[in-house]
Chain A
Amino acid sequence: MKNAEFFIDYSRCIGCEACVQACGECDTHRGVSMIHLETIARRESVQTAPQICMHCEDPICAQVCPADAIKKTPDGVVQSSLKPRCIGCSNCVMSCPFGVPKYQIDIDQMMKCDMCYDRSSVGKKPMCATVCPSGALTYTTMQDIQRTRRGIPINEWKFGGEVVHTKVYVMVPPEVERVDINLVQIANTDAALPRDPYDVALMLENA
Chain B
Amino acid sequence: MKKDIRNIARASGSDTMHATTWGLLATAALIGGILVGSRGLRYFDPALVSYAGATLFAAFGLGYRFSMWLRRPPTRLYWFRGWEIFLQPHRFFGNLAHLFEIVWSNIVLQRFIGRRSRMRWTAHWFLAWGCLMAAAITFPLSFGWLHFETLRSSQQIYRAFLFGIPIVQFPVHSIVAELMFNALDIAAVMVLIGVFAALWRRGRDHGAMAVQQFADDLMPLILLFAISITGLFLTASTHLMQGLHYTFLSQLHAITVIITLLYLPFGKFFHIFQRPAQLGVDFYKRAGVEGEQAVCIRCGSMYGSRMHMDDLKRVQAALNINYQLANDTHYQDVCPPCRRKNLALIQDNMWKSTASES
Q: What residues make up the interface of A, taking CB atoms closer than 8 Å to B?
A: 9-11, 13, 26-30, 36, 38, 40-41, 47, 49, 51, 60, 63-68, 79, 83-85, 87-91, 93-100, 106-108, 114, 117-118, 121, 151, 159-162, 170-173, 175-176, 179-186, 189-191
Chain A CB within 8 A of B50 CB:
no
Chain A CB within 8 A of B161 CB:
no
From residue B313, how far is it (CB to closest CB) to chain A in Å? 10
**In the complex, what distance in Å separates the CA atom of A83 from the CA atom of B216?**
12
Interchain pairs with CB closer than 8 A, number: 196
B344 and A47 contact, CB distance less than 8 A: yes
From residue B239, how far is it (CB to closest CB) to chain A in Å? 36
- A191 contacts across to B, CB distance below 8 A: 298-301
From residue A8, how far is it (CB to closest CB) to chain B in Å? 9
Query: Considering the complex of A and B, which 10 residue pairs feature the smallest CB-CB distances, nearest first?
Result: A161-B322, A49-B344, A118-B210, A99-B336, A191-B300, A99-B339, A28-B207, A66-B74, A173-B354, A27-B206
- B316 contacts across to A, CB distance below 8 A: 64, 95
Pick out which of these stretches binds chain A: B130-138, B174-182, B244-252, B326-334: B326-334
- A98 contacts across to B, CB distance below 8 A: 339-340, 343
| Residue in A28, A100, A161 whose beta carbon sits within 8 Å of that of B323 in the complex | A161
- A83 contacts across to B, CB distance below 8 A: 116
Chain A CB within 8 A of B53 CB:
no
| Residue in B75, B297, B308, B325 whose beta carbon sits within 8 Å of that of A160 in the complex | B325
**In the complex, what distance in Å separates the CA atom of A64 from the CA atom of B78?**
11
Not counting A10-B344, A94-B309, a sample of 6 additional A-B residue pairs whose C-beta atoms are within 8 angstroms of each other reads A64-B321, A66-B281, A99-B340, A160-B325, A181-B343, A189-B338
| Residue in B322, B327, B339 whose beta carbon sits within 8 Å of that of A183 in the complex | B327
Q: What residues make up the interface of B, taking CB atoms closer than 8 Å to A?
A: 69, 72-75, 77-78, 112, 115-116, 205-207, 209-211, 268, 271, 274-275, 278, 281, 284-285, 297-301, 303-304, 308-309, 312, 315-316, 319, 321-327, 329-332, 334-348, 350-351, 354
B207 and A185 contact, CB distance less than 8 A: no
**In the complex, what distance in Å separates the CA atom of A181 from the CA atom of B339?**
10
| Residue in B210, B324, B345 whose beta carbon sits within 8 Å of that of A28 in the complex | B210
- B271 contacts across to A, CB distance below 8 A: 84-85
Residue of A nearest to B324 (CB): A160
**In the complex, what distance in Å separates the CA atom of A180 from the CA atom of B339?**
13
| Residue in A10, A51, A66, A151 whose beta carbon sits within 8 Å of that of B78 in the complex | A66
B74 and A10 contact, CB distance less than 8 A: no
- A97 contacts across to B, CB distance below 8 A: 323, 331, 339
**In the complex, what distance in Å separates the CA atom of A117 from the CA atom of B209?**
10
From residue A67, how far is it (CB to closest CB) to chain B in Å? 6
B324 and A161 contact, CB distance less than 8 A: yes
B338 and A95 contact, CB distance less than 8 A: no
A94 and B332 contact, CB distance less than 8 A: yes
B321 and A63 contact, CB distance less than 8 A: yes
Residue of B nearest to A171 (CB): B347
| Residue in B207, B335, B346 whose beta carbon sits within 8 Å of that of A181 in the complex | B346
- A85 contacts across to B, CB distance below 8 A: 271, 274-275
A68 and B72 contact, CB distance less than 8 A: yes
